[in-house]
Structure 1
Amino acid sequence: MKPLVGDVFYARACDHELLEKGESGGAVSALLKFALESGNVDVVLGVRKGADIYDAIPTLITDPAEISETSGSLHFGTLLLSKLFTRYLGKAEDIMIAAALKGCDMMGVYELAKRGEIRLENILMVGLNCGGTITAETGRVMISRKFGVDPDSVTKERISKGNFIIETPAGEFSESMDELEEENMGRRSNCRRCKLKIPRQADLACGEWGVIGTDATFVEVCSPKGAELLEQAIAADVVDTLPPVPKGLEIRKKAEQSMLNLSDSWREKDFRALGEGKSRLKQMVDETSRCIKCYTCIEVCPALQMTNPSNFTVDALGKIPPSFAFHMLRYSLVADSCVNCGQCEELCPVDIPNALFMHAMAVELQEAYGYEAGIDLSNPRVSPLEIFPREKKQKKSGKQ
């Protein structure tokens, strides 16, 4: 059967090592390995475990035998991969790259592509279903307090059916994700608010939601490029495929909708706590007053290419903390392109809730203008920075 865009499959690796080591039947690892072996790509960008399960490291692979190093879940890996394409991979202009990308990675790639910072045609994107990630610090605290387990003894972790599950030499332990998050020991706040759980902007969207009765990956074909790769991999006996059972399709749909509903609840809760108008502004001014002007929030943003500090000179040189105008300049420059990746908040050395402030503003602009960053390659029909409709501007200025 020739895969077509829109088709869905259960897929599993034919390679025994990948089947055993990979998550959900190892299909993603098998497809990435095949893309490299077949010459479809020159290099694979992935994430591997470093010193332990709390240490996620981006890695470039040219040897297909090393693909198995990226197998397995790493929910404590909160990396954003999209900006690596511009920083280290020459914007994918002269090299073919395959990458396993979660939702925020995908949105960042799309925003960079709109700015001519990535050659999207040269990237084979394997999208990964993602319910969210947990910071290493939070993970260690959570495992110690809630599980009563030494964090260093954990050999593996996963999220399944609403539970966070860890494996140790002493056995397996499980806790409800809902309970963990109510105690602020679960996913990052931006992950809780995220509404891209299945990244269909990719060439293939892969995950375990909807898999019943077999150890396999649910694969959705999202582009001709993805269909071609899957067809070649099936013909080469790299992966086995089966049609998903009807109940599995229903479960996948319900799982995605349940996650989206939960995201709406967290958005309402987080944004309500910010208040409105002067109350929100005061909170933003107070929180940003801790800023030491390290420029990390600018450097890590996938949608903000103005990384030269001179572009943000709104105060006297060396003034710390900077005036609130410094932050308003950054917020305004990202207003129509924030993808809620959370990097600006997670990496802030003084714990300013940058992502919360930016996401709250971005969502209001999305609702006002009907445009959401990172979802497709279109640009806003009207820039969100045009606070007033064009007609009112003309009337106010006396122009017709």
Structure 2
Amino acid sequence: MTKKGDMLYAWTNDAEIQKKAELGGAVTSLWKYALESKAVDAVLVVTRGVDLYDAKPVLITDPKDLASTAGSLHCGTLLIPKLIKKYLDGARDMKIGVTVKGCDAMAFYELAKRKQINLDNIIMIGVNCGGSVSPVLARKMIADKFAVDPEKVHKEEIDKGQFIIEYEGGHKGISIDELEEAGYGRRTNCRRCKMKVPRQADLACGNWGVIGPRAGKATFVEVCSEKGANLMDGAIKKGILATEPANPKGLDIRGKVEGAMFKLGDKWRKKDFEGLGEGRDRLKKIMAETSRCIKCYQCIDQCPICYCVDCTTRNPAYVPPGELPVNFMFHLIRYAHIADSCVNCGQCEEVCPAEIPNTLFMHAQQVELEKMFGHVPGVNMELPLMAYVEEKTERERLHNTGSDMIYENVFNPFTKH
């Protein structure tokens, strides 16, 4: 019997999945079993659209359709949880399986804290993530640094510290460090990320630590919950999945890889945050950068923390409408609402037409608040102060009472308890 804490090598026994799968096809096989056994009603996956720079979310209900979704997509930068909240009613009445990166898992927890997603109806299989590459920058990087036509590239991967492409006529790899020093490589939020193995998920999977005869042919699986253990047991019993205990040396290698990624994240945090300056200098820099804002609301639409029905940034008493440059109050409201829970997913920066480094500003503030109050977003169900109230209920109370003390019925830090 599989149990929480087990470390395994796993691979598929399904011939169809074997043809297309990477690293043993364990994740695809687990989702196939989950659908066939009715453990989930559907699986939401990100797959290739028109090309490898186009990430497309697909909701799958037929197990036969899963094999075509196998494989990684490093130029896909979608965030899954907000899609489930917006289009699938937060999984309130539907059981959904999801493959998640670290930032996805963190966003699921933050939305669940705010009662926007029903985690009881979600099964998460986490995948180790060294980072993703913006599709627009990826095209430019491949043309400039690899001297290859981006349209001719049919496969990409990140392995052993390199970004590797396969194209008509050959393959080529360049060091991630070299690419990033030249302004290319992973998204800046990914460089700062320290959520490399998403253990908040039910299973944490990847290729780190798979050595010996199974290298490249199996998936490393860390069992992180009872829900994950049950999924593994069912797939093994069904015969779709085979496993063996992970090689002890592989465990050590996996730990070292994760540790190296942590150090790299610290390095980029130091560089990025110090570059912002402190105090008034930081404020001036943020105000200068955000002065390009055209108030398109894409940062709010894509943010996994923003969920208010009546967004304060649309209240003319706070943010005058029809003005450019946008009143800085627009950004102050966002910082006040989100900074304690920012998961550094990069969405607000990815979609910004003015190319404002929104994620950098928000992440820098989140880290400072974490130092002050100790709250780490996205790792468990512990609530930050801003998540203690339910928006619709609280707005109704404010309307009825005329009070502006949003937290008076929850927690007032200035009174004795």
The answer to whether the 8 Å contact 1:291/1:322 transfers is: yes
- Show the 5 A alignment for 1:130-279: 130-213=129-212, 214=214, 215-279=217-281
Q: Give the one of 335, 338, 344 matched to 2:342.
A: 338
CA distance in structure 2 between the aligned counterparts of 1:255 and 1:103, rounded to whole angstroms: 16
1:383 Cα deviation from its structure 2 partner: 9.0
Q: Which residue of the partner structure matches residue 101 of structure 1?
A: 100
The answer to whether the 8 Å contact 2:161/2:175 transfers is: yes
Q: Which residue of the partner structure matches residue 304 of structure 1?
A: 306
SS where residue 110 of structure 2 aligns?
helix
Paired residue type of 1:173: K
Q: Which residue of the partner structure matches residue 319 of structure 1?
A: 323
Q: Which residue of the partner structure matches residue 359 of structure 1?
A: 363
Matched, 1:348 2:341: no
Paired residue type of 1:151: P
The answer to whether the 8 Å contact 1:299/1:307 transfers is: no
**Between the two proteins, what is the percent identity of the paired residues?**
53
SS where residue 83 of structure 1 aligns?
helix
Q: Which residue of the partner structure matches residue 391 of structure 2?
A: none
Q: TM-score, normalised by structure 2?
A: 0.91
1:192 Cα deviation from its structure 2 partner: 0.5
1:309 Cα deviation from its structure 2 partner: 5.1
SS where residue 82 of structure 1 aligns?
helix
The answer to whether the 8 Å contact 1:336/1:383 transfers is: no
Q: C-alpha offsets along residues 211-248 of structure 1, whole Å, 9 cap, x if unaligned?
A: 11211100000000000010010111111101111111
The answer to whether the 8 Å contact 2:105/2:200 transfers is: yes
Number of residue pairs the alignment of both structures matches: 392
SS where residue 47 of structure 2 aligns?
strand
Paired residue type of 1:253: G
Q: C-alpha offsets along residues 233-291 of structure 1, whole Å, 9 cap, x if unaligned?
A: 01111111011111111110000000011000000000000000110000011111111
1:138 Cα deviation from its structure 2 partner: 1.1
- What is the RMSD computed on CA atoms of the aligned residues? 2.0
CA distance in structure 2 between the aligned counterparts of 1:98 and 1:256, rounded to whole angstroms: 25
Q: Which residue of the partner structure matches residue 368 of structure 1?
A: 372
Q: C-alpha offsets along residues 46-103 of structure 1, whole Å, 9 cap, x if unaligned?
A: 0110011000100100111111222111000000111011111111111111110111
Listed as ranges, the gaps of 5+ residues in structure 2 are 389-405
SS where residue 376 of structure 2 aligns?
coil
The answer to whether the 8 Å contact 1:85/1:91 transfers is: yes
The answer to whether the 8 Å contact 1:110/1:376 transfers is: yes
SS where residue 228 of structure 1 aligns?
helix
Paired residue type of 2:292: R
CA distance in structure 2 between the aligned counterparts of 1:359 and 1:230, rounded to whole angstroms: 35
- Show the 5 A alignment for 1:25-36: 25-36=24-35
Q: C-alpha offsets along residues 130-183 of structure 1, whole Å, 9 cap, x if unaligned?
A: 111001111111111211111111111111111111111312211111111111
The answer to whether the 8 Å contact 1:55/1:77 transfers is: yes
CA distance in structure 2 between the aligned counterparts of 1:308 and 1:299, rounded to whole angstroms: 13
Q: TM-score, normalised by structure 1?
A: 0.94
The answer to whether the 8 Å contact 1:298/1:307 transfers is: no
1:198 Cα deviation from its structure 2 partner: 0.4
Q: Which residue of the partner structure matches residue 400 of structure 2?
A: none
CA distance in structure 1 between the aligned counterparts of 2:314 and 2:224, rounded to whole angstroms: 39
The answer to whether the 8 Å contact 1:312/1:329 transfers is: no
The answer to whether the 8 Å contact 1:45/1:100 transfers is: yes
Listed as ranges, the gaps of 5+ residues in structure 1 are none
Shift in CA distance, 334/381, structure 1 to aligned 2, threshold 3 Å: closer
Q: Which contiguous aligned blocks of 4+ residues in structure 1 show a shift greater than 4 angstroms? A: 307-311, 381-386
Paired residue type of 1:351: E
1:306 Cα deviation from its structure 2 partner: 2.2
SS where residue 172 of structure 2 aligns?
strand
Q: C-alpha offsets along residues 91-134 of structure 1, whole Å, 9 cap, x if unaligned?
A: 11111111101111111110010011111011111111111100
